[in-house]
């Protein structure tokens, strides 16, 4: 099999013209690749959790590129043309939006209180660039002007992202996890928009402990433990895997 690319977290192999194979590695990066690390359980947690969510979304009729998982690290997807934007949905204020607000470069979403962890009424969908050196927030007008998607495609993407948010959010809240925000990628194949890449993992979502949040504390169960250097990524990822699936990944 031909290795066609090494991403920040996954190695990508081409199996034929229609399919690609991901190998979910132990690599982790943060701050646009500036901080790097390796954790032995990271690949399989992200591979198996992505599989878990892709299957749920497919059952709900959401079109995805996911085909199958071969083992704890290998996943086959339909090969798509990835759209040049990443889509972010935020339910609570934190991360880069909170940073940008404090620097004076972004307004607060309507109705949002000025504090980290404030709820964003109705959720907030943002787009950032995918194929630039640094992920840069862009307006809907810029996305359309660049011809990166049509207005109709943007509508489909926004609706699908909000549906995915509802599905994940309620499932997680029943298991004591707050879905704070997440990033997803879409691609196109034969003119159709498909959910691609990786979904519902602690690499691409922020998860906070719900009970602690109700008491006013933020306890992070995602890649922020690595970004902030506040905990062991392997432990955190195994814990969240267990909370979400009800199963334990053995060592
Ligand atoms: P990155 O460094 O861009 O985050 P990853 O390590 O996540 O890369 O590797 C996955 C790469 O494969 C990403 O560039 C992603 O956009 C791309 N990709 C994801 N799903 C598909 C797909 N179904 N077909 C083709 N490319 C994909
Ligand atoms: Mg990626």
Verify that 63 and 101 share a domain, yes or no: no
If one compares 211 and 16, the residue with the highest pLDDT of the two is: 211
- Alpha carbon of 39 to ligand 2 centroid (Å): 16
Cα 92 to Cα 249: distance, rounded to the nearest angstrom: 29
Verify that 67 and 188 share a domain, yes or no: no
Verify that 92 and 202 share a domain, yes or no: yes
Structure tokens at 88: 């972010």
Whether pLDDT at 148 is above 80 = yes
- Alpha carbon of 60 to ligand 2 centroid (Å): 24
Looking at residue 167, what is its pLDDT? 98
Looking at residue 179, what is its pLDDT? 98
Q: 62 and 160 in contact (C-beta within 8 Å)? A: yes
Looking at residue 135, what is its pLDDT? 85
Question: Pocket residues for ligand 1 (CB within 6 Å)?
Answer: 7-10, 12, 20, 65, 77-80, 82, 185, 187, 196-197
Instruction: Look at the pTM and tell me if it is higher than 0.85.
Output: yes
Whether pLDDT at 251 is above 70 = no
Q: What is the CATH number of the domain that holds 60?
A: 3.30.200.20
Verify that 175 and 219 share a domain, yes or no: yes
Which among 35, 184, 196, 202 is the best mutation to test ligand 1's pocket, defined by most ligand atoms within 8 Å of the CB? 196
Confidence category of residue 191, pLDDT binned at 50, 70, 90:
very high
Whether pLDDT at 206 is above 70 = yes
Verify that 11 and 88 share a domain, yes or no: no
Place of tokens 């497919």: 58
Whether pLDDT at 250 is above 80 = no
Rg of the chain on CA atoms, in Å: 18
- Alpha carbon of 198 to ligand 2 centroid (Å): 7
Phi, psi of 177 (to 5 degrees): -125, 135
Boundaries of domain holding 133: 81-233
Number of structural domains in the chain: 2
Verify that 102 and 62 share a domain, yes or no: no
């Amino acid at each position: 099999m031909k290795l066609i690319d090494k991403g920040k977290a996954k190695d990508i192999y081409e199996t034929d013209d229609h399919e690609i194979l991901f190998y979910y590695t132990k690599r982790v990066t943060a701050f646009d690749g500036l901080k790097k690390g390796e954790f032995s359980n990271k690949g399989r947690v992200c591979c198996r959790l992505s599989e878990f969510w892709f299957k749920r979304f497919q059952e709900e009729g959401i079109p995805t590129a996911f085909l199958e998982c071969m083992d704890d690290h290998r996943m086959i997807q339909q090969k798509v043309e990835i759209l040049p934007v990443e889509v972010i949905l935020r339910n609570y204020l934190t991360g880069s939006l909170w940073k940008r607000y404090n620097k004076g470069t972004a307004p607060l979403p309507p109705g949002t209180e000025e504090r980290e962890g404030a709820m964003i009424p109705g959720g907030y969908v943002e787009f950032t660039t995918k194929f630039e050196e640094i992920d840069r927030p862009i307006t809907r007008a810029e996305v359309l002007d660049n011809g990166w998607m049509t207005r109709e495609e943007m509508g489909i993407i926004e609706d699908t992202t909000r549906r995915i948010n509802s599905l994940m959010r309620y499932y997680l809240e029943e298991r004591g996890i707050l879905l704070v925000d997440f990033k997803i990628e879409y691609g196109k194949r034969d003119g159709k928009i498909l959910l691609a890449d990786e979904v519902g993992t602690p690499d691409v979502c922020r998860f906070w402990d719900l009970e602690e949040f109700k008491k006013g504390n933020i306890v992070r169960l995602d890649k922020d433990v690595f970004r902030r250097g506040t905990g062991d990524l392997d432990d955190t990822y195994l814990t969240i895997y267990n909370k979400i699936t009800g199963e334990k990944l053995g060592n």
